[in-house]
Every structure is written in C-alpha cells, then in structure tokens.
Structure 1
C-alpha cells in the first residue's frame, strides 16, 4: 500500500525543512514513483533512472543497443552461448572492483527473483578473465536487450543480504547515494571514481510525490528542476511560464485495458471486441489526453517491426458492440444494463493514480461502456493491486500504461506479457499459434511478416484492449540545460545536464 500521500503543503514543508534542505546547486527531481526500498527487483528503475546503477548493455533513443558495463559481446555460431567483455577499471561505489564474479553474482540473484531473467532459457552464467559467459538451452537472439532492463542492473556483492534480498544500492553509475528514506526520497552525489564521462551537476535528489498537482506546483515554484509525469491540465499551465520548459515525446508505451479472459463475461473474443468497439479512442485522445490520436492497434509506430500499417484499425461502433453482446445472449434490463441468466454485466476496472491520466480515462470509459449496457465500477488504488489481482485471479479489468521497450527489444515484453501471461500482460489467455510465432522470433528465426502475423492475432482476439499511444511529458527549469526524454524510460539523463550559464 501507499504509506503516505503528501499534500502540496506537506511536500513544500518537507523540502524547506532543515533535515532535507537543498542547496542551490542540487538538481531536484520529482516523479510519481515510490522507493520501496534497496531492492533492484522492485525499485530498480528509480536507481537506473537516477544514474546510480547501470546495466551491461545500454540503448540509444532509436533502440540500437550500445555498450554499458560490457564493452562488447558476441554469440557462438550455435546461438547457445554469449560472451560479454567487461569494461576495464570500473569500481562500485564502495570502492571495490567490478569483477566478473561480482557481475555473475548480481545476475544470478536477479534470475532468482520475479522479472524477465527468471523465464529465460539460461542454463548457466560463468565468470571468465574480464568477461562472463551466458549459456542457453536454446538460442535467444534478444539476450543483450534483456541485460539492458533495470532488473539486470549490476550491484556490488555488499548490496545483498545472505538470502539475496537487497540491503543497499551500491552501483557503478555517475551518482552514488548519500541518503535514502523510502518511500519518498534519496540524495546522491557525483562519484569521483566513475569510469565514464564526468558529470556537470554534482548533487541530485529524488522525491516520490504521488499527487500530480503537487508535482506541477513544485515545477511552477522552482522547488524541483526536473518534474516527471504531468497531466494535460498541468502541461497547459506550465507551458505558459517562461521559467519552465515542457518537453514531450512519443514513447513506445500504450494505454490499454488488461482483460481477465478467464472471466465468464469476457472469455469469448466477441465480448472483448464489443468492449473495444464501445471506446471512442479519438475522443479520449484529444479531449482527455491532449494527444494527436488514439491507438489503432497495440504497438505504436515507435515499436519498430511490430507496428503494422496494413493492420485494419480498431474502430468505434456502439451499434455493432450491442449486436455482438446480443449474439452472446445478453439482453437489456430495465435500467439499461445487460443481463444474462440472471446476472448483470457488471465489472470492476482497477487502475492507479501514479499516472494521472489513468483515472481520467477510467471515468470516460465508465460512461462509454454504459452506452452498450455494461456497468463499470472504478477502483483507483495502488498500482501493485494490478499484479496482485492477476496472481490471485480477482482482477476483472485493469487500466494500465505498458511500455514495450523497458527491454529495448520488444520481444522481451511480448514474451513476458502474451506467452508467459506476465502480471502486466494477458490474463488467462493462450494462443498456440501466437506462442509458436513469438518463440521463433525470440530465437532469431522470425521476420517482420511473423511479427505482423503475431500483431494481427492480438488485434483479433484482444486479450488486452489498446486505447492510446503514449506521449511522455515533463517539465524542466530554465536553470538547467541539456535535458532530454529517454523514449525507453531507462534514464532521466541527469549525467548529461548542466547548470545554465
């Protein structure tokens, strides 16, 4: 559960109090994410975004994989082993050397926790002379991309307890933690022994602020120089200020409805298509999200190889939706809600306020579903309730925002979400043809035609229902220069920023 939700007054008081006062030379970051603790499998994305921890492989803005803590890598001819050569002279923030043994230790611990590495066909990870070797039971062409995901971050052995649980974040990044108070804050300073380029800004801080109104006020008042996760109203207001620059970029993320395909009301594709047809995507995109257009398919154009321009687009047709449900035996009741065998077509849609646009969209969906006779109850709660409901089977519908490139090769997320039925993907849905196609793509045997066919299966059966393609928006103070948005959401780019002249 969220342990506390700060009011505007509380946040400003916290930032002004002597215990956490910032000097004029500290770059303050505010975002909606809580720090659950020093555990890379749960809060690791905060540590990689803040430049505290790093992965073996990095990704450029166009998705091209580039060296990180590994200077290069190669695969054997049979595809069953990969060798990653480690950068020279890298030291953890506790002063110890990043050895091959330390890298193997971090990856083996990551493999033992929930995350993408746990489901890969890895048979072993061995330390060599300045390198590690990963062996597989079957080829996996996207392995380097998996090692760019935040849960594959490399931490010093002292970061873990005897049971492998995270006890400290001792990374290799340009910044090292000087103080951390979960769930709301951390302070970091430039690491003088960093192996890469020197940072221009020495001190940075992070504040987890759940309320979007509070984050926007922090940007407006200058209490934070880098504010992440803004709603459309805040973007409009901040965009009129001379002291703040609003940045926005399309990212490979889709706002979608996660469907429990095992639910008796939702188990047939026709029912899921009816819900999809009830959604006015263009209206939601323009009136609520202020985006140029809604999603015509699951994968946005930025997801190279998976977006198919030839795929018939998702449509909006209330009458067709009603006809599909009538064909499934649903009849309109006296209050306009459909009934079948004495049961009302009533569902609960679970979402979360971490992304401020989600509750707004949920309210619109409630109205649009009612037009076809479906009663929707909105449950706005902590984001952890989505995976929890997936695991215990109680989730009916979940409104989420899913990034298809947290693993820079989308095959990683596709495998996890739609073959492995991962917590943020399909629920109680399986298609053998789809699984075969995706398995071939993962081994490096597939091509764009196979990706297009896989996308068409998702479009036809709708185990998830796309609504809008994402734009990431943030506010940056005019006190700093060099800010950019990473479309893969791997980094805030603090190490590339500098104080304005």
Structure 2
C-alpha cells in the first residue's frame, strides 16, 4: 500500500533531497552571460535520453519540449495541421508538396533548404528501426527548388499530421554523420542545444538568429530526475523552475498554486484476450466490464487526479464525446470461479495498484484472479504473445500523428502491431479501415468514433480512466506550456521573473 507523501518517514524525504543536491549547481537563477538580462530556466525531467537524443527515437520529444528542433508542420488543439517550417502544402494523389518558409537558418548558420529537409526525411524513412510515426509507411522525399515533395506508396490522408511528429524534426546536414544523429547545434528552434552530458543533463542557449519571435529566456538547464519524490522536492525547495510528470502521490502535498493538471490523450485500459482463455467468451468479457468500478480506482489510486473513461478517447480529444452514441453490448455471464491472470508493469507507479484494485473487483464478481507484475521490458513480449487473460496498460491514444485512427488500428485490427486483445473481427476491421482512409476533418472524426464503438461493443478492451499531465511551475515562471500531447514545455514565450 502506498503511503501519502505527508506520511512518509523523514528519512524518505531526506533521501529525495540528497538526490537533488547539486542538481542545478552553477545554474541557480543564473542570468544571461550575454548581458541581455533574464534568468535561465531550470527544468527537472522524468526520463533520461535512451538514444543519445536522436530525433529518430522517443528522445525526439525532449528536443521538441525544449523548442530546439522543429518540424515542417505543427498541430493545433484539434489535431489539425498548421504551418511551421512549411508555410503551405498541396496534395496530388500519393504526393504532397510543401513550400518552405523563407529566412530560416539552422543553429550552425546554414540555411534551411529543400535539400536539407529531404535529407532529414530520407534519413528517417530509411532508418532501422524506423521512427514509430512511419511504422508501415513507405515514404520518399525529393527537393524541388524551395519545395519538397513527399510521396507515399499508397494514398495517405495523414501525411501532414505525420510530418508534425517530433521524430521527423528537420536538422542541419552536420547532424547526420555515420549511423548516429547528433542534434547539438543542428536545430532551427528559438533555443540551441549546446551541451549534452549523457543521461545526466543538457544545456540550451537562446538562438538569436531564430526566424520567429526571439526567446524571452536566455537559456535552459535540464536535469534528469527519474525519482518522482525527488522531482517534487526540486519544485518545493526552489531548485527547479519547471518539473514534469509529478506523481499523483506527490501532487497533493505541493502548493496547489504551483501544480497544473491537463487532460492528456492517454487512457488506462484493461485489454481482454479475446482469442483464448476465459475472455474468449463474450459473456465473460461483459461480466468483467460490469465488475470494473473505474470511479473507485480514480478516487483511490489516482486520488481524484484522473477522469473516469466514457470511451477509449478522453477529454484531451473534446470532439469525441459529442459524436458518441450508445453502444449495444453483450449480456454478462456468470464467472463461476473462472481463473484469469492479469499482467501489468512497474514502470508507471500506479499500474500495480490499479491491477490490485481490479483483482479485488473481479474476485468480488466471481472470478479467481492472479497477478503478474514486472518491468515493462520484461513483460511486453508475453503480453503481445497473448500469455495473459488480461493486461492493464496506460496507452497513448493519438500516438505521434495527433490522430487516434492509428492507435485504434494498431491495437484492435486483426493485423494490428499492438493487438493485446488478439481481436480478429471483420466488422471491427471494416470500421477501422474506414477511419484510416477517410480524409482529415469532421467525417474522419465521425468514422473514428464509429470504430471506437465497434471495439467497445466486443468488450475487447475496458477503458477505465484518462490520465492527466501533472506539471509543476515555480511561482516566477511565466508562459510555460501545458501540452496534453507533451510536445511543448519551454517555448519562446517562457521565462522566469
């Protein structure tokens, strides 16, 4: 059982403070060395880089959150594509042509050209493994004057949204040497990445040649603090200005004026194995659905800092709720002592507690329940192989394109690459394919919600709750981004008083 932070022994809080000792040594509210004034922004982040800050990996989201690497396209709040390094684009069948913004330079002083853009996109498209956003997508990029033409093997209405992914950031030619990609001094954003200290820290300085509004802060100093208690302590002690991913257990004991919660496109879901075992029976899947009390999990495990799920898509996609219609589901059967095994992982601190709560709820309904809890790296292959009757997962629902159709297809199509439910249903496949093929806009959103309904009608997955980003901003921080997609954190408008 987790103890609230206010009940933790003093030694635990002291240990957190020790973890932070020297975290920002030499940068405490440091002013700009150039003499232009302002304070550097000290950021405590959850995870250290896993791939040397390569934009072709999940590390790309760090580069995006620091406003150092940029993409051709950005997404607005609705997930629609908007200009960034590209000012406009047109489509012709399988090809999309993007016109580049004038006056953009990389941090090494070289100009943004169509050749540089094509080079970045080609390196991403030919990487092994490919960036996740290009999984299953064959893409080529060709320079043509001040424009770049991107062509896919089959018609793809999501190309602009795909190009908004931080994993397709555009970097200077110098970043691509050998097999690695080094983003230091190679971006186009308002901050230049100047120093990387492995998995310990990073530093960025304002880039005065930025094509847009100049950054208000002189720079950013980043420390990686994996321990949640230590990150919260950094905010409490004043050692950090912005702290990402504050654990639920710590949020309650911080000054609430310093904590911001933002609904994020991430759903905590119970996936049921429809291929074998007890949950091959639709009536037993329905029994499990009726047994799950998501409200008590939100209250008990998340201390009210989450939203009870109405569907797979949550409040971070506000259009989904208005398009839903009632879903006709199977009638619940009698578990009669059926034994099921639920798997989950320890990497997110709430997951084991959620699984334990589900165990109690399902046992109360008549199931016999075993738990298998491991680190994610040690359990994912078993989950994908269908070795569990059910699996609890915190799942991003818009992945990298800002569009939920890709997530739904990946998780619930017969040939989906992340089909934990092992669902194979022709009607579901038909609905998923329609959603994937419909042009971007209201018609696509309607098709997405219809595909969601098809999945829910089979009880292949039981959405329980939608998580929130819990971010800490010190009292002097102005205009820190609170982004549900976790693509932005420090922007050109962010500064410390």
Class of the TM-score when normalised by the shorter of the 2 chains: 0.7 to 0.9
SS in 2 for 1:155: coil
Distance 2:94 2:44 in 1: 43
Among candidates 447, 451, 454, match of residue 454 of structure 1? 451
Match of 1:151 in 2: 167
1:210 Cα offset (Å)? 1.8
Which residues of 2 match residues 48-127 of structure 1 at below 5 A? 48-76=64-92, 79-112=93-126, 113-120=130-137, 122=139, 124-127=140-143
Match of 2:23 in 1: 15
Match of 1:436 in 2: 430
1:81 Cα offset (Å)? 1.5
What do residues 160-204 of structure 1 show as CA deviations (whole Å, max 9, x unaligned)? 3433x3344422111122221232321111122222210001111
What do residues 105-124 of structure 1 show as CA deviations (whole Å, max 9, x unaligned)? 221222231412131254x3
Q: Is 2:250 the partner of 1:245?
A: no
Match of 2:489 in 1: 492
1:444 Cα offset (Å)? 2.7
Distance 1:313 1:180 in 2: 54
Match of 1:471 in 2: 468
Distance 1:173 1:258 in 2: 40
Match of 1:402 in 2: 396
What do residues 4-30 of structure 1 show as CA deviations (whole Å, max 9, x unaligned)? xx9624431241556x77736221112
Q: Is 2:277 the partner of 1:256?
A: no
Among candidates 325, 348, 351, match of residue 358 of structure 1? 351
Distance 1:114 1:266 in 2: 34
TM-score w.r.t. length of structure 1:
0.83
1:398 Cα offset (Å)? 3.9
1:448 Cα offset (Å)? 5.0
Which residues of 2 match residues 377-392 of structure 1 at below 5 A? 377-381=371-375, 383-385=376-378, 387-389=380-382
Match of 2:4 in 1: none
What do residues 255-311 of structure 1 show as CA deviations (whole Å, max 9, x unaligned)? 223455555444444444443333210111223221474112111144255444323
Q: Is 2:213 the partner of 1:213?
A: no
Distance 1:161 1:462 in 2: 49
Match of 2:335 in 1: 325
Question: RMSD across aligned C-alpha pairs, in angstroms?
Answer: 3.0
Q: Go from structure 1 to structure 2 and tell me whether the alpha carbon gap of 1:120 and 1:433 turns closer, same or farther (over 3 Å shift).
A: farther
Which has the higher mean CA deviation after the structures are superposed, 224-233 or 441-450? 441-450
Tell me, which stretches of 5 or more residues in structure 2 are unaligned? 1-13, 32-38
SS in 2 for 1:404: coil
What do residues 80-124 of structure 1 show as CA deviations (whole Å, max 9, x unaligned)? 2211111112222222222212211221222231412131254x3
Tell me, which stretches of 5 or more residues in structure 1 are unaligned? 1-5, 327-331, 333-337, 339-343
Distance 1:499 1:17 in 2: 18
- Counting matched residue pairs gives 463
SS in 1 for 2:408: helix
Which residues of 2 match residues 23-42 of structure 1 at below 5 A? 23=30, 25-36=39-50, 37-40=52-55, 41-42=57-58
Q: Is the contact made by 2:431 and 2:454 (CA closer than 8 Å) also made in structure 1?
A: no
Match of 1:329 in 2: none
Q: Is the contact made by 1:215 and 1:227 (CA closer than 8 Å) also made in structure 2?
A: yes
Q: Is 2:189 the partner of 1:173?
A: yes
Match of 1:345 in 2: 340
Distance 2:229 2:242 in 1: 15
Distance 2:265 2:178 in 1: 38
1:384 Cα offset (Å)? 4.3
Q: Is the contact made by 1:281 and 1:293 (CA closer than 8 Å) also made in structure 2?
A: no
Which has the higher mean CA deviation after the structures are superposed, 279-288 or 437-446? 437-446
Which has the higher mean CA deviation after the structures are superposed, 444-453 or 146-155? 444-453
Distance 1:184 1:313 in 2: 51
Distance 2:305 2:87 in 1: 39
Distance 1:351 1:269 in 2: 29
Q: Go from structure 1 to structure 2 and tell me whether the alpha carbon gap of 1:8 and 1:448 turns closer, same or farther (over 3 Å shift).
A: closer
Q: Is the contact made by 2:383 and 2:420 (CA closer than 8 Å) also made in structure 1?
A: no
SS in 1 for 2:208: coil
Distance 1:286 1:83 in 2: 49
Q: Is 2:246 the partner of 1:230?
A: yes
Q: Go from structure 1 to structure 2 and tell me whether the alpha carbon gap of 1:248 and 1:211 turns closer, same or farther (over 3 Å shift).
A: same
TM-score w.r.t. length of structure 2:
0.83
Distance 1:80 1:218 in 2: 50
Distance 2:311 2:189 in 1: 37
Q: Is the contact made by 2:346 and 2:374 (CA closer than 8 Å) also made in structure 1?
A: yes
Distance 1:56 1:231 in 2: 33
Which has the higher mean CA deviation after the structures are superposed, 277-286 or 49-58? 277-286
Distance 1:38 1:305 in 2: 34
Distance 1:263 1:351 in 2: 25
Match of 1:310 in 2: 325
